[in-house]
Structure 1
């Protein structure tokens, strides 16, 4: 179970507590009243030694002191506090603390640093429950409740709690293996999340997808024994401030073998349950927006299937007719994500959207270009929208690096026998994939987010953890909530 976030007006006596101190603090504020002289001197000595995390054990309870960073912008200071939350979590877990009170003595506006610390604690505490049956192998979380004292408003704390629930929902979906989350089960989980949060869901089955002639989604599904799905999620509150919806399109390849262009394993195919991270992120964003009753109209589209080499699997050399009517020459069946996204992006036009995002673990080229440290972005949205996205990325530390979509890149996807091909050239692979998607976005501004680098981590990385990270949930939530 995730940590519960709450607020309190005052700090109870003998509570396990963490105090946030301003950068450069050399002594304790008077607000920390229940420390005897020797303990105060110990903390002062640690502050003088530039310690950033200090623990005082009173045996009946503990005090933790976290010193804010003095370096960088407000966004970087907040990120340092999230990482401090990760470090603090290790200490409180070792101390078997169940309930922790947080008091911000750093004078950050609206308790911003306390919220960032809580965010780091919450996301670090995430553990995929998995499928273990041996009680000895289960490790119940020690820390179950974090209470912010003063500073942050109760509404802000509740909104953060709901947002982080959305991130953890995305992580749960990403971490589920194919035999627990095929395309149909994925769609059902999206609908269940909608019932819990309050957004509407419609699921297209194989018959409906065939009727719509979604040639990309149908082709990728041909080698699978399981049918595809196409899920539409919609959050449309009465007080929505946007007259036209924003649309989020998420790649939903629940497992990717590469098809007949088989991936190598180990090291590549064995983690491909994460290839629906974009669809999981869209689900997490819709969940958070609906739970927080945010006044924005947002639609999520998730085409879902696995990609296998069996049965009547589509093959290199095939020519597909897409939902939009464009024809595509398949040069590699492992370039399948762009095919299912293309159908969904063309479908998005019916909503007359003000802006469309697609989110996808699309190319190894994006991961090689900027690693797990950022998200590759590109598109046809104007400079103001792209700047707003980058600023949101700085605020939540899910940073976006914009790649160009110059006209010359269209040459990379030319085909001799069809309108375009699905592979591109050896160089600029992330861009040629984006250029492919651009052909299906006529009539609206669009931003493509390639999350291949940070979506799934094979080793722990601070509060992002190991496995599915839920990356882009916080990014898109922040962007949509702060849209003008």
Structure 2
């Protein structure tokens, strides 16, 4: 869908118009036809949050009020209202104009972002590919650089959603790795797809153990973005790339828990999306992305409860639950991240059901070792309304993952599951680090406004907002 800047004198040519105003009476400052103005004048009993629409034979006009938006959560409520407007416009019109009258650029950004994100559809496997009719959004009263940013980030989110929505039958470990490499072919990013032999050379015991039950070999993808050949300390992003998770020999029960496990690479998809957006906006700083990829399946060769695995760091791990596989592959990647002199490492993973149980499907859990970066990330998450809730990394939780026969065990028991997973990962980091557990928010079973249904791309908007102030 094309997103472009137009001028006020051209708005009459658009049959579908969306006007952003602080309050309803401001609609009459817009250049609208006499018939539309007359119909708006007849509207009464209007509350400050209402979206008011009028329709004539030739026009469909929406008045979106914005003065009531005073905080981050209300801004997201506005996004949801704009998503409903998209649904109304997209059935009959090929183009629309969004006219910003006196609303702030931040408010306008949220509205256009929601409108654009609402256009996503995954129809690859539909016999009848019913798509919306909109192909062009013209914007009046907006800054061009904001529109470019919306388009780049939204496209990255769509790519992440596409990856998450693909079944494992068409997105195996190797296909996912190839898809990542192809995505960056025409950019200045450098992509290395490492095979099993390289993973063995690196002694990545966690990734190799999880992969033992698979018919597909593991992959390890490294994306480097360094447009200025900088020697600065790097930001490193790590994404969990489990393309399908049966739970292994600790099989998921009931089996319905497997229905959405194609989404267990939601963290990896988010990291890929972030890197693509950074390339598109020509981000001026050094960033590395590390993505360990495998599925977690059952076979006679699969790793088993009771196994002891030697990790890349030399740490030994007693496996008590093969369904705690995400932390096994992340641990090797986090240890490898130290090779890049990181200023900060952020991992993104659909890691624990405990995080989902705690904060639900529209938020995520975070924890980390650098208080200032962590608070900045939380603030960024609230601004885009992908809320992050900080969980503690108190030392008292460490005893829950101490093993009797190895250094640590891969689960900490029935309580504090999201925290003990974080404590496990902390054993493999020696640098400033933040962990994001997006277990509930990476995939939605029911449609939710501009987030859609299925893969969401959760985390991309948060990290992109966070990186606005990266130095």
Q: What interval of TM-score do these two structures reach, taking the shorter chain for normalisation?
A: over 0.9
Corresponding position: 1:211 with 2:201: yes
Scaled by the length of structure 1, the TM-score of the pair is 0.93
Aligned partners of 1:312, 1:332: CA distance in 2, in Å? 16
Residue matched to 1:33: 32
Moved more, 364-373 or 62-71: 62-71
Residue matched to 1:103: 99
1:141 CA drift (Å): 2.0
Please say if residues 239 and 295 of structure 1, whose CA atoms lie closer than 8 Å, have aligned partners that are also in contact.
Answer: no
1:324 CA drift (Å): 0.6
Please say if residues 378 and 449 of structure 1, whose CA atoms lie closer than 8 Å, have aligned partners that are also in contact.
Answer: yes
Of 102, 121, 124 in structure 1, the residue corresponding to residue 118 of structure 2 is 124
| Residue aligned with 1:300, SS | strand
Aligned partners of 1:266, 1:100: CA distance in 2, in Å? 45
User: Which string of whole-angstrom CA distances, capped at 9 and with x for unpartnered residues, describes residues 384-406 of structure 1?
Assistant: 21111011011111111000000
Residue matched to 1:5: 3
In structure 2, do the counterparts of structure 1 residues 352 and 409 end up closer, same or farther at CA, with 3 Å as the change threshold? same
| Residue aligned with 2:222, SS | strand
Please say if residues 104 and 113 of structure 1, whose CA atoms lie closer than 8 Å, have aligned partners that are also in contact.
Answer: no
1:9 CA drift (Å): 2.3
1:122 CA drift (Å): 1.4
User: Which string of whole-angstrom CA distances, capped at 9 and with x for unpartnered residues, describes residues 407-457 of structure 1?
Assistant: 011011010010000010111000000000000002x10000000011111
Aligned partners of 1:199, 1:172: CA distance in 2, in Å? 21
Please say if residues 188 and 227 of structure 2, whose CA atoms lie closer than 8 Å, have aligned partners that are also in contact.
Answer: no
Aligned partners of 1:140, 1:467: CA distance in 2, in Å? 17
Moved more, 76-85 or 328-337: 76-85
1:41 CA drift (Å): 4.3
Of 372, 380, 390 in structure 2, the residue corresponding to residue 402 of structure 1 is 390
Residue matched to 1:437: 425
Residue matched to 2:358: 369
- The 5 A counterparts of 1:278-357 are 278-357=267-346
Please say if residues 68 and 77 of structure 1, whose CA atoms lie closer than 8 Å, have aligned partners that are also in contact.
Answer: no
Please say if residues 320 and 330 of structure 1, whose CA atoms lie closer than 8 Å, have aligned partners that are also in contact.
Answer: yes
Uncovered stretches (5+) of structure 2, i.e. residues with no partner: none
Aligned partners of 2:249, 2:418: CA distance in 1, in Å? 22
Aligned partners of 1:45, 1:342: CA distance in 2, in Å? 63
Of 146, 149, 154 in structure 1, the residue corresponding to residue 137 of structure 2 is 146
Residue matched to 1:19: 19
Aligned partners of 1:145, 1:198: CA distance in 2, in Å? 29
Corresponding position: 1:92 with 2:80: no
1:211 CA drift (Å): 1.1
Scaled by the length of structure 2, the TM-score of the pair is 0.96
Of 67, 76, 85 in structure 1, the residue corresponding to residue 73 of structure 2 is 76
1:266 CA drift (Å): 4.2
Task: Give the ranges of 4+ consecutive aligned residues of structure 1 lying more than 4 Å apart after TM superposition.
Answer: none
Aligned partners of 2:234, 2:255: CA distance in 1, in Å? 42
Residue matched to 2:244: 255
| Residue aligned with 1:262, SS | coil
User: Which string of whole-angstrom CA distances, capped at 9 and with x for unpartnered residues, describes residues 295-326 of structure 1?
Assistant: 12111100000001113100000000001110
Please say if residues 14 and 61 of structure 1, whose CA atoms lie closer than 8 Å, have aligned partners that are also in contact.
Answer: no
User: Which string of whole-angstrom CA distances, capped at 9 and with x for unpartnered residues, describes residues 98-151 of structure 1?
Assistant: 11111111x233x3322211111111110113223x3xx21022112111112x
The number of residue pairs the alignment matches comes to 468
Of 409, 422, 432 in structure 1, the residue corresponding to residue 410 of structure 2 is 422
Aligned partners of 1:430, 1:171: CA distance in 2, in Å? 24
Please say if residues 25 and 47 of structure 1, whose CA atoms lie closer than 8 Å, have aligned partners that are also in contact.
Answer: no
Corresponding position: 1:391 with 2:379: yes
Please say if residues 164 and 262 of structure 2, whose CA atoms lie closer than 8 Å, have aligned partners that are also in contact.
Answer: yes
Please say if residues 221 and 227 of structure 1, whose CA atoms lie closer than 8 Å, have aligned partners that are also in contact.
Answer: yes
Moved more, 5-14 or 274-283: 5-14
Aligned partners of 1:167, 1:373: CA distance in 2, in Å? 16
RMSD after superposition: 1.6
Residue matched to 1:46: 43
Aligned partners of 1:76, 1:7: CA distance in 2, in Å? 28
Please say if residues 236 and 345 of structure 2, whose CA atoms lie closer than 8 Å, have aligned partners that are also in contact.
Answer: yes
User: Which string of whole-angstrom CA distances, capped at 9 and with x for unpartnered residues, describes residues 160-196 of structure 1?
Assistant: 1001101111000000000110111111111111114
In structure 2, do the counterparts of structure 1 residues 266 and 223 end up closer, same or farther at CA, with 3 Å as the change threshold? closer
1:71 CA drift (Å): 4.3
User: Which string of whole-angstrom CA distances, capped at 9 and with x for unpartnered residues, describes residues 48-94 of structure 1?
Assistant: 42262222223223222111151432x33432332122110111123
Aligned partners of 1:327, 1:402: CA distance in 2, in Å? 28
1:327 CA drift (Å): 0.3
Please say if residues 396 and 475 of structure 1, whose CA atoms lie closer than 8 Å, have aligned partners that are also in contact.
Answer: yes
Uncovered stretches (5+) of structure 1, i.e. residues with no partner: none
| Residue aligned with 1:416, SS | coil
Residue matched to 1:479: 466
